[in-house]
Amino acid sequence: MSVARPTRQKLSILALSLSLSLGLAMSPAAMAQPQEQKQALAPPANATEAKLRELYNTEWDWRQKEFAREKIDGRWQSAAHMPSVTAQTWQRRGEYWADVLKQLDAIPAAQLSREEKINEAVFRTTVEGLHNDAVWKTYEAPFNSDTFFWAGLNPRQPYQSEADWRRFIGRLNDIPRYFGENIANMDAGLSRGWSVPRSSVEGRDNTIVPYTKTDAENPYLATFDRIPSSIPEPVRSQLREEGRKAVLENVVPAYANLLTFMRGQYLVRARTTTGASDLPNGRAFYKTQIREFVTRDMTAKQVHDIGLAEVARINAEMREVMARSGFKGSFPEFLQFLRTDPQFYAKTPKELLSYTAWISKKVDGELKNVVGTLPRYRFTILPVPDEVAPIYTSGRGGLDSCLFNTYDLPSRPLYNLPALVVHECAPGHSFQAALALEAPARPDFRQQTYFSGYGEGWGLYTEWLGTLMGIYETPYDDFGRLTFEMWRAARLVIDTGLHEYGWTRQQAIDYLAANTALAHHDIVTEIDRYIAWPGQATAYYLGYKTMRDLRSEAERELGPKFDQRPFHDTILNLGSVPLPVLESEVRTFVAERKAAARTAAEE
């Protein structure tokens, strides 16, 4: 989810604005493929393909400018100002995307090549999500339980050029306007009953507090003390002073005003219900969210029933692993043992981070047996920033870094870390993002498109793949993996339970606690995230199940000729695509391999 990371945000208005914020804190390499790695696209095969390319390239350039990106040295980078987020701007954007979809409908798909059909499907699904969220006015709730428009604006690592620092200062000076527009949108949402539920807002106001300080405890002020010495004097001192002036005169008052609004208005007026069905026309909205995240048409009942069946299957496997561990008590007693025994918990943040780094290097030694193409780009391992750690997930991975939460160490069991590392780092999200960066030539919009069903499905698939890589050394590690698999399967039941079937927050907490060894802190954090972000939780397991089913199909069809490396390359080389496209391309790959095998046998 770097902070996922533009690479880990969903294709909604909320996430698009969030990815803007998060993108500001990432290196230029995270934003676009380096110029020297770019390859030229083949020319369009006919007039229809030319028309499609003109449409998606024009929309992409328009979208970048709309969201405060500008092209610098051939790459899209964050501009020296924040984007407009007024209701009038969003209405105009919605109208634009409606017209784009109309033009797209007029393009005959039969006249497109295989690659352009993929481009068309990716582009259409993206624009449909953006348009739907503009229509639903989700910008009136521009944050969720752990990802906020006011966070992630500060760079994780110092910028290396004067130009980057000056654009950053420009954005800081524009924060008062940007926050003011978001506050106006939130106020409008509260007035019509469209808000983040109160249970997912409480305590989140505390993440604003550090930015209201006027001393070194303010993360922005600390950032300007880290300008690298590679920027010579007197420029370095000038940047520091200009930055401090922007923070003290513009940023601090804007955050203070936001804090007053959140505590005096939002927390008081936010809805006390938890389900999307309680929003205006909420059941119809929830249906669009399942479609957006899963990238296929499914009813809430279909999702719920799959979840119930998978929970039952995984529970049986968990009990087998418990027996293998030698534990003699009941299943609830085993969960309690895992949650409380000191052997399973790090004593210091450094111990936890060191353990994740060791797992990561162990994975490195196995990657050559898993995929055929290894990326050059490398990630680092960092702790989740202190200002968001109390309400943040256990870990998230993106192109530049994997974040692991070292807050409340008694809630961070070590037996969960092997699965978490392969999911977030390699061969999961960081690895996936690096391959996307170095991907074959494709349109710019494909480089930065992210579908949760594909991306999170791959992340969960890699957790299972760890069983073939020898990553889980003890029954407890394997139980941690199964806890994570159960967690995602249970999400199908919980998300639909909350948003379609009227479950209470406590009912959801109890269900996750009864079926996994997750710590109570993590369980509550996760449930509040599902409440605040309807549908997103359904993507993980359904994407994973699609990939597992495709692998089983490929193994049956190819028999002893099956090689997981080209199979995985096929998935990864596609980049993020809707699940129906993934199915079609993998089946084409299998058919081509079968044909090649037959030809070889006949020679």
Digit-coded pLDDT (tens) for 277-335: 999 999 999 999 999 999 999 999 999 999 999 999 999 999 999 999 999 999 999 99
Are residue 64 and residue 82 in the same domain, yes or no? yes
Number of domains in the chain: 2
Closest CA to 1 of 450, 576, 434: 450
Q: Residue 561: what are its φ and ψ, rounded to 5°? A: -80, -5
Are residue 90 and residue 127 in the same domain, yes or no? yes
Are residue 89 and residue 12 in the same domain, yes or no? yes
Among residues of the chain, what percentage have pLDDT more than 70?
Answer: 94
State how far the Cα of 360 lies from the Cα of 357, in Å rounded to an integer: 5
Are residue 397 and residue 261 in the same domain, yes or no? no
Question: pLDDT grade, residue 38 (50/70/90)?
Answer: low
Hunting for tokens 């390239």 — which residue is that? Answer: 57
Helix, strand or coil for residue 74? coil
Task: Decide if pLDDT at 213 tops 60.
Answer: yes
Q: Quick check: is 245 in a domain?
A: yes
Q: Quick check: is 564 in a domain?
A: no
Parent domain of 321:
291-543
Neighbours of 348 (CB within 10 A): 10
Q: Quick check: is 589 in a domain?
A: no
State how far the Cα of 391 lies from the Cα of 265, in Å rounded to an integer: 21
Q: Quick check: is 555 in a domain?
A: no
Residue-wise pLDDT for 409-426, tens only, equals: 999 999 999 999 999 999
- What are the C-alpha distances in Å from 261 to residues 268, 385, 528? 10, 24, 21
Q: Quick check: is 577 in a domain?
A: no
Are residue 57 and residue 204 in the same domain, yes or no? yes
Q: Residue 130: exposed, middle, or buried by beta-carbon count in 10 A (0-12, 13-18, 19+)?
A: buried
User: What is the pairing mode between strands 380-383 and 69-72?
Assistant: unpaired
State how far the Cα of 76 lies from the Cα of 79, in Å rounded to an integer: 9
Average pLDDT, stretch 159-177?
97
Question: pLDDT grade, residue 147 (50/70/90)?
Answer: confident
Alpha helices in 326-428 (DSSP H): 331-340, 349-364, 417-424
| 22-31, 231-240, 488-497: range with lowest mean pLDDT | 22-31
* Single residue among 524, 543, 562 that ends a domain in this structure: 543
Are residue 324 and residue 471 in the same domain, yes or no? yes
Rounded to the nearest 5 percent, the helix, strand and coil shares of the chain are: 65, 5, 30
* Single residue among 282, 313, 329 that ends a domain in this structure: 282
- What are the C-alpha distances in Å from 387 to residues 17, 391, 551? 20, 9, 41
Q: Quick check: is 588 in a domain?
A: no
Task: Decide if pLDDT at 362 tops 90.
Answer: yes
Are residue 429 and residue 468 in the same domain, yes or no? yes
For every residue of 213-273, DSSP letters joined together read -SSTTSHHHHHTT---TTS-TTHHHHHHHHHHHHIIIIIHHHHHHHHHHIIIIIHHHS-S-
Q: Quick check: is 104 in a domain?
A: yes
Residue-wise pLDDT for 496-509, tens only, equals: 999 999 999 999 99
Are residue 164 and residue 273 in the same domain, yes or no? yes
Are residue 181 and residue 316 in the same domain, yes or no? no
Q: Quick check: is 593 in a domain?
A: no
Residue-wise pLDDT for 224-251, tens only, equals: 999 999 999 999 999 999 999 999 999 9
Please, what is the Cα angle at 27 between 26 and 28, to 5 degrees?
A: 120
Nearest-Å Rg of the Cα atoms of the chain is 24
Query: How would you classify residue 508: left for phi > 0, otherwise alpha for psi between -120 and 50, otherwise beta?
Result: alpha
Are residue 345 and residue 430 in the same domain, yes or no? yes
